[in-house]
Structure 1
Amino acid sequence: MTISEITPDVDRARWLAGAEFADAFRITIAGAAIDARTAAERMLGHPPRWIDALVKLRNVLVRPFGLKTSGADARSSRPMIGIFPIIDQTPERLVLGFDDLHLDFRVVIDVASQSTASQVTATTLVHTHNLFGRCYLAIILPFHRLVVRTMLRQVA
Structure 2
Amino acid sequence: MENADWSVKPVAVPGESAVAGWCDAPYLADAYAIRLPLDASIDTEQLSRFLFSHQPSWVARLMSVRDTVVARFGIKTAKQLRRSSGASGEGRVDIFKIYQRASHEIILGEDDKHLDFRVSVLRQMRNEAAGEYPYLVLSTVVHCHNRLGRVYITLIAPFHRMVVESTLRRAGRLGWPTAAKL
Q: So what's the TM-score if we normalise by structure 2?
A: 0.75
Q: 1:22 maps to which residue?
A: 29
Q: 1:6 maps to which residue?
A: 11
Counterpart pick for 1:32 among 27, 39, 59: 39
CA distance 1:6–1:113, shift in 2 (3 Å): closer
Amino acid in structure 2 at the alignment position of 1:45: S
SS at match of 2:36: strand
Structure 2: runs of 5+ lacking an equivalent: 1-5, 127-131, 173-182
Counterpart pick for 2:55 among 35, 47, 50: 47
CA distance 1:7–1:23, shift in 2 (3 Å): same
Paired residues of 2:11 and 2:32 also in contact (CA < 8 A) = yes
SS at match of 1:101: coil
- Structure 1 vs Structure 2: percent identity of aligned residues? 32
Distance 1:13 1:72 in 2: 25
CA distance 1:113–1:38, shift in 2 (3 Å): farther
CA shift for structure 1 position 46: 3.0
Counterpart pick for 2:161 among 126, 145, 152: 145
Give the aligned CA root-mean-square deviation in angstroms: 2.4
Can you list the C-alpha shifts for 1:28-83, whole angstroms capped at 9, x where unaligned?
02231322112211211232210000001100101011110137279467521111
CA distance 1:13–1:31, shift in 2 (3 Å): closer
CA shift for structure 1 position 2: 1.5
Amino acid in structure 2 at the alignment position of 1:6: V
Q: 2:115 maps to which residue?
A: 103
Distance 1:99 1:17 in 2: 16
Amino acid in structure 2 at the alignment position of 1:61: V
CA shift for structure 1 position 13: 6.8
CA shift for structure 1 position 122: 0.3
Can you list the C-alpha shifts for 1:114-151, whole angstroms capped at 9, x where unaligned?
9x952000000000111111111010011011100011
Q: 1:64 maps to which residue?
A: 72
